Structure 1
Amino acid sequence: MKTTVLLFITALTVSATYSAEPFPNANFQDGTFTNWKTEGNAFAAPAEKFNERRQRNIKLPAGIKFLANSYVGKKGERALGTVTSEPFELKGKYLTFEFATDRLQRPGTLAVNLIIAGKIVRQAFPPKAGKDCKLRKAAFDIQDLQKKKAQLQIFDRQQLQGGWIIAGNFQVEDEPGTEMVIRPDNPNVERVKTTRKIKCVKRYLNIPAVKQHSDDVVKLIVDGRVVQEIQMAVARKGEKSQFWQFIDLDLWKGKKATVEFDGWSSFPDPIETFTLNDEILGFDNDLTKGDRPQLRFTVLQGWNNDVNGTVYYDGEYHLFYQHDPSRNGRTGSNMHWGHAVSKDLVHWKHLPIALGVTRKRGQNYSGSAIVDKKNVSGLQKGKEKPILAFYTRRYPSTFLGWPFDVQSSHQCIAYSNDRGRTWTHVEKPVVPQVTLKNRDPKVFYHEESKRWLMAFFNDHSGYDFYSSENLLNWKKESTVKGFNECPDMFKLQVDQDPKNENWLLVNGNGEYALGDFDGKEFNIKFRSRVVHGSFHATQTFANAPDGTKRRVQMAWFRTTVWGGMPFTQRFTLPIELTLRTTKDGVRLFAEHAREMNALRKESKTFSGKKFGAESVVIAKKIDWVLIDVEIEIDPGKAEKIDLQVRDIKYQFDAQQGKFTGASLKNFIVGQTKDGKYTLRIILDNGSQDTVVNYGEVYTMAPGPNNIAKPLLTCSATGGEASISALKVHHLKSIWEK
């Protein structure tokens, strides 16, 4: 009986707590936004049912018939807008409400705001709820704001990655009834645009950053030109920076510059938190340390995918690439064009971002670059020949909730008159959108017709060909089916004969087609593949001094880098492509580019050795991590030959003419002219590249490189075989100075 009385008293105490609506129709009782004003295309009408699959756990609070919901019709979570109340007088201690979202949002982009005289004085962000998406209660402490005129605002500006907010049940109460209490000293996040003058006296401008949705734009302006644009997430008041974003100032050393910030911040001047330093902060500036690859190019930090705009100009090979400089990147999101140059295809120098991202212009998807030697575009200013980058401009500036969900997609130009160091965008597209997914323009010169040609993916499993005489005005010529993404097209000599050249059209996955091309249509004669493994978006260097004798190819090495590195992807080694005549006809061969030989610093040669069914260690462990191994195998009378180079296993089936190893299984191969097999294997940190029979097959794969294991172990079945030659080269790191 005593327990019953105590419970009854407690119930009476709770029921006596003061609670009231802050103003008429604060909770949309009549099913309309009376006393509220909507802007944008979100919040079409108060919602009483929640049918979207991620909102199905939302239950209306007791006594509440409607809630505001920014998820609207076909627009879904792409809808943006606000709903703001008429001014009302603040009374009581706490203004409480319930809200929800299911998506991690950048604080400020989804919010409930309390506004006085046009200024946000309290702000709450709905916590990510995931699958269990239920309403959460929050409370504004308004005890210091009594009798002031205020407005409530439900706010959805979450464009990046999509997003929605549900809010309602606004009440004035004596107690908050929740741990989520927003007090006067809680920072508010608002849209801020500000500038600050600096002098480029240090190498880097370091910017505190977080791994969230990149919705802030930082620009560097020198001599009245925007020379850097980075879309990122700048750390806010109360946020601990997770890494330091940077702008390399080396090109503008000693110059005066303006830094501009346009984004969301809890600081009135977020540029105050930027700092000038001689090194990148929070980052090991020694690239020879850790698990970073030492033989292949990698970005300093952030995400990369497709190789873009590979071109040679006046002693420099230019490598551009899809790049999200933040550490929260993924394919197709926040795509800048990163940039590096090399004099030898091996040692690379990182340069500042070439093509930046802004909310207005959108992303820079994949493409190509050419040198306009005759200035047919009329874009040259000064002595240097203009380099033109052709890219796909995708809007908006990142993915929303769905892959390749875009509003527009055009083929566009940016150009440089200073050897690729700074770039100017031509705002008008040169090929306006054909389909929403058309992308990846490859531009090349067709000598026979004296015209420039462009091939790009047309969204229907094929490439469209366009032609132009001035690089600015283009007309469609034809379509070739059966190809997907990132085209590359060029001519190669057969057997180094300048009088015998063939056209090649290369697919995004590295598959190639030989055929005839008259400047309008490509007719396929033969189709095959020579390079295999975890790679994508192959591109070759245009305008290179080799002409049509060879073509050097690089691609995105589509693997994840572990070990706490500040980047997540990597690129292939430079691969040398040539056409040779075989017993089956003309075929493409792929080898390590000859420039890789310059990394050799010492070598060891091992004498030949026979082996049979019993496993034999041909060469014991060598404590060189970075190695280039050349092996010649005489199959003798063996039916199958098994080799293991450290962690990598290979097999030649001499009877069936098949090769298995790394990323390949039972791949048809022949033998060299003297009846042997050859392997050339380059081992890097976390990867291997293998060439079979001087370029008949090229395969790459991620994997360990354990120096504690024997260098080479062999066995054979059905008879004896032998290693007729074995040479190991110790390689230098490409990052060594």
Structure 2
Amino acid sequence: HFSQKTGFNNDPNGMVYHEGTWHYFWQHNPMKKTMGNQTWGHATSTDLLHWTQHKGALFPYTNGDHYMFSGSGTVDKLNTSGFGKNAIVLFFTNTSVGECIAFSTDGGQSFRRYEDNPIITFDKKDTSGKPFHIGRDPKVIWYAYDQNDTPLNETAAKYGGHWVMLVYDLTEGKENQSGRFYTSVDMKHWEHQSDLPGYFECMEVFELPVDGDAANKRWVVYSGDARYAVGDFDGARFTPEHEGKHRLHYGTYYASQTFDNAPGGRKIQIGWNTSQAAPEAPYAGHHSFPHELTLHAEAKGVRMRANPIKEIKELRAKSHRMDPVKIGPGSPAVLPIQSNTFDLTLEFDPGDSDQVFINIPGTHIRYKTKERIIEHREIPLEVIDGRVRMRVLVDVCLYEIAGNDGRVYVSLPRDYKLPITEIKIEAIGGTATLKHLEVHELMSIWE
């Protein structure tokens, strides 16, 4: 996991891929281990594993600003804004005036504020013609047209698409909170198109193929509380194809974001791990390990999954495996290991057991067979074809679980003061069968 050198972190911000480099920003208080002095921290990577932290990208209390709240990043490939071809453009909430822009034409080494900020104002008395709203956390994407789309105007037709902003909106009060959609052809002038009621802060909107089929795609709207909906989006209005919302992420996970402009259309997500798992460290808060989102057709409809990025294989060092074995009360499977950073894959048939208990010093995972849940916070995890599968990433003071090929994704803290000498798996109240256990020790990303 990436960690900032000092200070407090919360929401991921501005995540974007630009000319071979992944740019990761986050809400950062560089001065204290508590929230406040909200700046945008900045780090870059070429492999999503090894990160270099840079000076902050956006700072408060300059040009009349108060706080630099959350937002997003994108690449203006067609220079629709006039900032420059392939400029990195950041959209953020300036808590004193509204939704704003900063941009970079030097590959993210420096950022300049747009001189006519805000682009959407908090001032109801503003007479400039700019849209008014109360809210935060603008997410901006490029919506490319297909044969079924009607362009916004002649300029959009020339470009073959338009910009979409999805922003958390409180204009009508908290009881009417929603996601608000705006459109633009130049990033500077925005028009309100529609509202999506019942959504919370740090929203996302993106498109994914179902089961990898490029001819069968769906749109996803996702918010900071880790609830999402699947449906159709026409560039102005989102229409869900089901009632209510679904959930993928559990545990100490909040306010995630995906990288814009990722190669191959990948949707790679990082969330704020809200646990204070290492209180002695010079920093507070954590970032989840990058995980890739996919859509799949299931019996109850289309659902999203999350799995650790494939690049993690580059960190593998020593590997351990165990042959299939029956486990029961007093006869656990034990795998010796001397590492506090590893990637574990596990598959078991719960049999007639009441519970399958996975003991990793500093934490444990208890699967309750009859209830079909991971006991911690009652996370649902079904038995599929007689098996339960888990992938567990352990990284000193944190661990993450991808259950049943990513149908649930869990982020939790671990007591890092306890050394790991073995992994013990046992069945309680009956017999289970351990079908597969494989553990790869992982190299540190830090020199």
Q: Which runs of 5+ in 2 are unaligned?
A: 125-131, 146-150, 152-160
Q: Which residue of 2 aligns with 1:531?
A: 249
Greater share of strand: 2
Which piece of structure 1 moves more, 355-364 or 722-731? Answer: 355-364
1:643 and 1:714 in contact (8 A); partners too: yes
Q: Which has the larger radius of gyration?
A: 1
Q: Which residue of 1 is the match for residue 143 of structure 2?
A: 446
Displacement after TM superposition at 1:517 (Å): 1.3
2:348 maps to 633
Aligned to 2:363: 648
Q: How far does residue 525 in structure 1 lie from its aligned partner after superposition?
A: 2.2
Structure 2 residue aligned with 1:318: 23
Please give the alpha-carbon distance, in whole angstroms, between the structure 1 residues aligned to 2:77 and 2:272: 29
Contact 1:617–1:710, Cα closer than 8 Å, also in 2: no
The one-letter code matched in structure 2 to 1:385 is N
Name the SS for the 2:284 alignment partner.
coil
The DSSP-based 3-state class of the residue aligned with 2:312 is helix
- Report the AA paired with residue 108 of structure 2: G
Distance 1:322 1:297 in 2: 14
Distance, in Å, in 2 between the alignment partners of 1:436 and 1:510 is 24
Cα deviation digits, residues 263-300 of structure 1 (max 9, x gap) = xxxxxxxxxxxxxxxxxxxxxxxxxxxxxxxxx11111
- 8 Å CA contact 1:311–1:543 kept in 2: the answer is yes
Partner of residue 690 from structure 1, selected from 401, 421, 429: 401
Partners of 1:463 and 1:490 in 2: how far apart?
A: 14
Q: Which residue of 1 aligns with 2:48?
A: 345
Letter of the aligned partner of 1:392 in structure 2? T
For residue 110 of structure 1, what is the aligned residue in structure 2? none
Cα deviation, residue 619, structure 1: 1.8
Q: CA deviation digits over 1:16-67, x for unaligned, max 9? A: xxxxxxxxxxxxxxxxxxxxxxxxxxxxxxxxxxxxxxxxxxxxxxxxxxxx
**CA deviations over 1:224-246 (Å, ceiling 9, x no partner):** xxxxxxxxxxxxxxxxxxxxxxx
Q: In the TM superposition, what is the alpha-carbon distance from 1:637 to its structure 2 partner?
A: 3.6
* 2:107 alignment counterpart: 419
* Equivalence for 1:309: 14
SS at match of 2:405: helix
Aligned length: 415
State the Cα deviation string for residues 590-622 of structure 1 (Å, max 9, x = none).
11111122111110111222122x133312442
Is 1:681 the counterpart of 2:385 in the alignment? Answer: no
Tell me the TM-score normalized by structure 1. Answer: 0.54
Output the TM-score relative to the length of structure 2. Answer: 0.88
Q: CA deviation at 1:394?
A: 1.6
1:141-178, CA deviations, whole angstroms, 9 ceiling, x for partnerless residues? xxxxxxxxxxxxxxxxxxxxxxxxxxxxxxxxxxxxxx
- Distance (whole Å) between structure 2 residues aligned to residue 470 and residue 731 of structure 1: 45
Deviation of the 1:703 alpha carbon = 1.9
Superposed displacement of residue 456, structure 1: 0.8
Distance in 2 between residues matched to 1:359 and 1:313, nearest whole Å: 27
1:711 aligned counterpart, secondary structure: strand
Unaligned runs of 5+ in 1: 1-295, 396-408
Structure 2 residue corresponding to 1:361, chosen from 52, 57, 64? 64
Percent identity, aligned pairs only, is 32
Determine whether 1:546 maps to 2:291. no
Q: In the TM superposition, what is the alpha-carbon distance from 1:306 to its structure 2 partner?
A: 0.8
Q: Which amino acid aligns with 2:7?
A: G
Which residue of 82, 95, 109 corresponds with 1:378? 82
Question: What's 1:514 paired with?
Answer: 230
In the alignment, residue 325 of structure 1 is paired with which amino acid?
P
Q: Shift of residue 326 of structure 1?
A: 0.6
State the alpha-carbon separation in 2 of the partners of residues 568 and 487 from structure 1.
24
Task: Identify the residue that residue 191 of structure 1 maps to in structure 2.
Answer: none
Mapped partners of 2:368, 2:420: distance in 1 = 28
Which of 404, 427, 433 in structure 2 is aligned with 1:715? 427
Report SS of the residue matched to 2:281: coil
Q: How does 1:577-596 map to 2 (within 5 A)?
A: 577-596=293-312
2:372 paired with 1:664: no
Deviation string, structure 1 residues 76-133 (Cα, Å, up to 9, x no partner): xxxxxxxxxxxxxxxxxxxxxxxxxxxxxxxxxxxxxxxxxxxxxxxxxxxxxxxxxx
Matches within 5 A, 1:217-296: 296=1
1:562, 1:652 → 2: CA distance?
A: 26
Residues 678/378 of structure 1: CA separation in 2 closer, same or farther (3 Å cut): same
Q: Is the 8 A contact 2:277 2:413 kept in 1?
A: no
For 1:390 and 1:334, the matched residues in 2 are separated by 18
1:691 to partner: Cα distance: 1.1
Give, in angstroms, the shift of residue 359 of structure 1.
Answer: 4.7
Q: 1:25-424 maps to which residues of 2 (within 5 A)?
A: 296-327=1-32, 329-330=34-35, 333-362=36-65, 363-380=67-84, 385-395=86-96, 409-424=97-112
CA distance in 1 between partners of 2:212 and 2:364 (Å): 34
| TM superposition shift of 1:644 | 2.2
User: SS at 1:597's partner residue?
Assistant: helix
Q: Deviations over 1:303-358 (max 9, x none)?
A: 2111001111111111011111112541xx21111101111111111111111222
Residue 734 of structure 1: CA displacement?
1.1
Looking at structure 1, the residues matched to 19 and 223 of structure 2 have their Cα atoms a distance apart, in angstroms, of 28
**Cα RMSD (Å):** 1.8
CA contact (8 A) 1:628 1:731 kept: yes
